[in-house]
Structure 1
Amino acid sequence: MAPVLFFIDAPYGRFAGTLGANFSLPGKASWFIMEAVSPLLFLSSVILTRPTWTPFQMILTSAWLVHYVNRSIIYPLRATSMAPIHILAVVSAVVFNGLNGYTNGIWVGRHSNSVYQFKFWFGIGLWAAGFVSNIYHDTLLFKLRKKSIDKNTSDKKKRYSIPYGGLYNYISCPNYFSESMEWIGYAIAAHSSLPAYIFVMATVSNLFPRAIRTHGWYKDTFKDYPKSRKAVIPYIY
C-alpha cells in the first residue's frame, strides 16, 4: 500500500475530493468514527483478557487511551473546520483502527514486563515527546486555519498558508513526524509486542508517503516556500 500512496493521495484534508466529492462524508463526524474505534476495541480487548493490571499494563493502556481521546474527541472539537472525508478513507480507517486496537489490546492484556528498566521509560518518554509535539503543531495549524476562515475565501489554495514555528521551520509535516515518534516510543516501551511494531510500520508506511505528497503540494502552491525545508525528517528527508 505504501508505494501506491506516493502517487495517489488519501482523500482527506487538503486532498479531499480527489476521488469524488459525491462520496464524501462530513469531516468531523467521520474523523470521530474513524478514530474512536481504536480506543474502544483496545480497552474492550484488554478487559476481556482479565489482566492483573500491572504498572506495565496500566501505563501502556493509559498511553493508548490518552492519544486516542485526543485524536477522536479533542482534535475535532479544537479544529475550526474539517474537510469532508471520502467514504473509502472512512471505511479503510475503521477496519484498520479496529484491528489495530483489538490486537494491541489483546497483547497488553496478556503480557507484562518490568517498568524498572531504562528501555521502558525511554520509550514512554519518546511517546510523551511525540504526543506533546503533535498537540503543539496542531495548535499552530488551527491558528492558521482560523485566519484563513476569517478571510472568507472560497479558493482552496488561498485557504492555506505557509506554517512557521517549531518543527515547521524544518519540515512540512511535523504532525506526521510526531505521530511516528509516539508509536515508535510506544513499541519500544511495549518491549516485544509484535502488534506494536506492526503498527509502527503501518504508521510510517501511511504517513511518510503522504508527507512527501504534502511537501510537493506546498512547493507547487507557494512559490516562496522555504527551499531548505524537508518533508518529514529534519535535515534528512
Structure 2
Amino acid sequence: LSVKLPLKDVTLGNIYGCFLFMWAFYHQYKAAVLLANLRKNKKGSIVTLEHRIPAGDLFDFVSSPHNFAEIVMYLAIMFILWGSSTWPFVFLWVLSNQVETALLTHWWYKSTFKDYPASRKAIIPYVL
C-alpha cells in the first residue's frame, strides 16, 4: 500500500493542527506526571494515600488541565481533518464529556480543600 501526500496538499490548518496537538499532548503528559507525583517522594516511592492539591504548569490556572489538553488535542485533529463531515460531532462529544468531568472535579476540589485557590477555573483558563 502506497499513499502519497504531496506537499502542495498540506494546508496551514494541517501544520497549525499538528503543532497545537503536540503542545496539548505535552501538557496532558505533564499534568499526568504532576498528579502521579503528588503521593510520591523524590525516590518515587508512594508515601501517602491522602489527596492533595496539584500545582504547577496548567494546574496553576485550571483544576483539570489534562481534560483541557484533551479538548485541545481533539480541536487540533479537527483542524487537521478540516472538511470532515463527522469530525465536528466527535469533537463536540469530547468537549461535552471533558467539560462535565472537569466541572465535577473542580467542585470536588472546592468542597474538599478549604484553601483551594479561588482564582483557579475548572477547565478553560480565566473563563470556566
TM-score (norm 1): 0.49
The answer to whether residue 4 in structure 2 is matched with residue 54 in structure 1 is: yes
The aligned residue for residue 26 of structure 2 is 132
Determine what percentage of the aligned residue pairs are the same residue: 33
The aligned residue for residue 117 of structure 2 is 226
The aligned residue for residue 211 of structure 1 is 102
CA RMSD of aligned residues (A): 2.0
| 1:235 to partner: Cα distance | 0.4
Instruction: Point out where structure 1 has 5 or more consecutive residues left out of the alignment.
Output: 1-49, 57-112, 154-158
CA distance in 2, matches of 1:208, 1:174: 11
| 1:139 to partner: Cα distance | 0.8
Look up the equivalent residue of 2:3 and give its one-letter code.
Answer: W
The answer to whether residue 68 in structure 2 is matched with residue 118 in structure 1 is: no
TM-score (norm 2): 0.88
Of Structure 1 and Structure 2, the greater helix share is in 1
| 1:131 to partner: Cα distance | 0.7
| Structure 1 runs of 4+ with >3 Å offset | none
The answer to whether residue 55 in structure 2 is matched with residue 161 in structure 1 is: no
CA distance in 1, matches of 2:85, 2:4: 20
Instruction: Point out where structure 2 has 5 or more consecutive residues left out of the alignment.
Output: none
SS at match of 2:120: coil
Higher relative contact order (CA 8 A, sep 6+): 2
SS at match of 1:150: coil
SS at match of 2:40: helix
Using a 3 Å threshold, how does the CA distance of structure 1 residues 145 and 199 change in structure 2: closer, same or farther? farther
CA distance in 1, matches of 2:85, 2:96: 16
CA distance in 1, matches of 2:19, 2:36: 26
